[in-house]
């Protein structure tokens, strides 16, 4: 009987101590261009904090100096996950505030899902410039590789530095005002198009494409749309109805002013000629 009470008291004491430090929940990874954030819930109360421990699968656990007994509910591990092709897990521990003491020897924690940066980080939208040749026969797109959160020898790496020949770009283009689309994959950052109708306007979108990844992670974020100029635009497409109406009104107003001035001038001239004749004396017969 005494043993049962002892076990019960020990259980209640452990529950009370761990209960004052709720476990983290909804532990998730969010990574774009290798900018990797671990986040969780809830916001801690005033009597406890969070500490993050992470490790390569099967490796020793490490702590980020910025995520030890912190009231924050996120931890930036971008600079810590240096082995980009490895896979990681992380534990979020609920611990006393910095400087506070506790009778617990082990603190409650929640483990994250597995995360593999090279295979899972999202790729942000690329920028590109468009150039149309003077004879309008060739359109060239120059793609700029998005920068990453990875630095090497003091230089910030872009996605081409990391993925090398695994990186391609997917081009989607269509004739302006049309819904029909064409797709082209390019292994380089320079994309030349020679099959476009001369003088027509085309719209372009580009996104990173890494075919070696899982299907749901192959494509990056879509770029902003850019459209070429239409050299054969109809007059009414170039100018809006309001602009055309205003031009017609001004033209008619100008014509009206010219006619009015001409009529006034003619009347004054006739009046002047008539007054001159009446003022001439009659000649003696």
Question: Per-residue pLDDT tens for 47-69?
Answer: 899 999 999 998 999 999 999 99
Which long-range contacts (C-beta less than 8 Å, at least 24 apart) are formed by 231-235? 231/136, 231/198, 231/199, 232/199, 232/200, 233/201
For 82-119, the pLDDT digits (tens) are: 999 999 999 999 998 877 777 677 899 999 999 999 99
Q: Where are the domains of the chain?
A: 13-120, 127-231
CATH of domain 13-120: 2.60.40.10
pLDDT tens track for 124-177: 999 999 999 888 889 999 999 999 999 999 999 999 999 999 999 999 999 998
Closest CA to 224 of 122, 121, 128, 123: 128
Q: Is 127-231 CATH 2.60.40.10? A: yes
Q: Judge if 13-120 and 127-231 fold alike in CATH terms.
A: yes
Tell me: pLDDT of 278 over 90.
Answer: no
pLDDT of residue 285: 44
d(CA 92, CA 237): 59
CB proximity list for 152: less than 8 A, separation 6 or greater: 161
What pLDDT is attached to residue 28?
98
CA distances from 279 to 266, 269, 273 (A): 20, 16, 10
225-234 pLDDT per residue, tens = 999 987 655 5
b/e 246-279 (16+ beta carbons within 10 angstroms → b) = eeeeeeeeeeeeeeeeeeeeeeeeeeeeeeeeee
């Amino acid at each position: 009987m005494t043993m049962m009470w002892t076990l019960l008291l020990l259980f209640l004491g452990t529950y009370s101590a761990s209960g004052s430090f709720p476990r983290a929940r909804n532990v998730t990874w969010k990574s774009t261009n290798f900018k990797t954030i671990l986040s969780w819930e809830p916001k801690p109360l005033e009597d406890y904090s969070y500490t993050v421990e992470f490790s390569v699968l099967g490796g020793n656990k490490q702590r980020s100096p910025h995520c030890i007994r912190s009231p924050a509910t996120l931890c930036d591990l971008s600079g810590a996950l240096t082995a980009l092709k490895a896979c990681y897990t992380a534990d979020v521990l609920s611990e006393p505030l910095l400087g506070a003491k506790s009778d617990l020897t082990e603190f409650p924690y929640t483990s994250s899902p597995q995360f593999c940066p090279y295979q899972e980080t999202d790729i942000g939208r690329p920028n590109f410039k468009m150039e149309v040749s003077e004879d309008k026969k060739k359109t060239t797109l120059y793609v700029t590789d998005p920068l990453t959160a990875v630095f090497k020898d003091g230089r910030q790496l872009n996605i081409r530095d990391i993925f090398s020949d695994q990186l391609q770009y997917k081009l989607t283009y269509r004739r302006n005002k049309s819904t029909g689309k064409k797709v082209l994959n390019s292994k380089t950052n320079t994309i030349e198009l020679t099959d476009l109708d001369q003088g027509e306007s085309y719209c372009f979108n580009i996104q990173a494409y890494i075919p070696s990844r899982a299907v749901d992670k192959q494509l990056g974020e879509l770029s902003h749309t850019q459209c070429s100029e239409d050299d054969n635009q109809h007059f009414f497409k170039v100018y809006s109805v309001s602009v055309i109406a205003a031009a017609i009104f001004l033209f008619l107003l100008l014509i009206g002013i010219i006619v009015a001035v001409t009529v006034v001038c003619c009347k004054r001239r006739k009046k002047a000629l008539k007054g001159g004749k009446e003022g001439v004396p009659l000649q003696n017969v």
